Structure formats: structure tokens, C-alpha cells
Amino acid sequence: ARPLKMGSRYTDPLSGGKEDLTTTTQTMDTLRVERAKSNLSLEATKTLTGVRLSVIRGNYDQALEDTKWVLQQYYKSGKAGEAMAKDLGQPLQHVVHLIKLSIDKRILVAKDCLERGNHDKALKQIPTLRDAVLWLRSVQVTYPEAREPTHWESRRNITGEDFPEGMSVIE
């Protein structure tokens, strides 16, 4: 018979009990867990990009649901994910912030189109703006807010009533 190689499973008698984890096995298990957590975080970050797209398309309820899901995934993915979730804040606040940014951009586009005489393109912004403002109103947020009068305007008794807010800005 040939001698058995060192490290062969036949060289040492098997105890029958559960074998201790080797350092390699422990490291591999740790890496597997860390990889799963980072995959959760990565998937959540990709979904967060989808939240922005949902806001642009006007799917605000879907954006809110996706943001809630993203927060859950971040909390499951360990300390780094918890830090990302803390940066993200509350789901409703995040979606409202994205909607406000979208409204600002669309208003600027509409004003630019009006200045250039492209009234058709400016009119195309109105339905999306109206939907966004109505959705914000449904969660008790008024946007765009009335701006404060400048020093010059206040000296001439031009009051805040002359500055529209909410839906009246769009109309």
C-alpha cells in the first residue's frame, strides 16, 4: 500500500463530531456575509436611482414606496448602509425634496421656453407641474412657496399677496 499524503482526510481519524472551523473557512464565511450585505446596499442604491426616474415620470407614490424599500435594505446591510440611510432621511422628506427639485427645473424650462417664444413646449410642462403640486398638496406641502418681498418692494408696500405660491405660480 502507498503511504497517505499529508493533509489527506485519511491520515487523521474522524471524530464524528462537528469539526472546528478553520481560519480559511471562517474568513470565507465572513466574506460571504459581507458580500451579501454589500449586494443589498448596491441594489438599494440602484433602486434609489429609479426613485429619481419615478419622480421625473410623475410616479410619486411608486417613488415613495421604493424609497421605503431602499431604507429597509440599507438598514439590513450593516453599518455602511445605516450611514447611507441616515443621509437619506425619512422617505417622504426625500421624495418631497426630489419633487421640489423637479418642479424648479420644469419651471425654469417653461420660463426659458416662454422667453424664446416656444409656447408649445412651455405648455407641455404644465400638466406635469400641476400633478406634482397637487401631490405635494396631498401631503400638506405648499410648493413653490411665495418669495419674500425685497427691501425695495417692501418700501413701496408691495406685499407678499402679490407673490403667488403653489398652483397659482403655474397658472
pLDDT digit string (tens) for 123-132?
Answer: 999 899 999 9
User: What average pLDDT does the chain have?
Assistant: 83
The answer, as to whether pTM is greater than 0.85, is: no
Torsion, Cα of 104, 61, 50, 79 (10° steps): 100
Contact 143, 170 (CB under 8 A): no
User: Domain count of the chain?
Assistant: 2
| 114 and 145 housed in the same domain | yes
Range with the largest mean pLDDT of 15-29, 126-140, 147-161: 126-140
By three-state DSSP, how is residue 46 classified? Answer: helix
| Residue 15: inside a domain | no
Closest Cα to residue 77, out of 116, 106, 36, 112?
36
| 76 and 45 housed in the same domain | yes
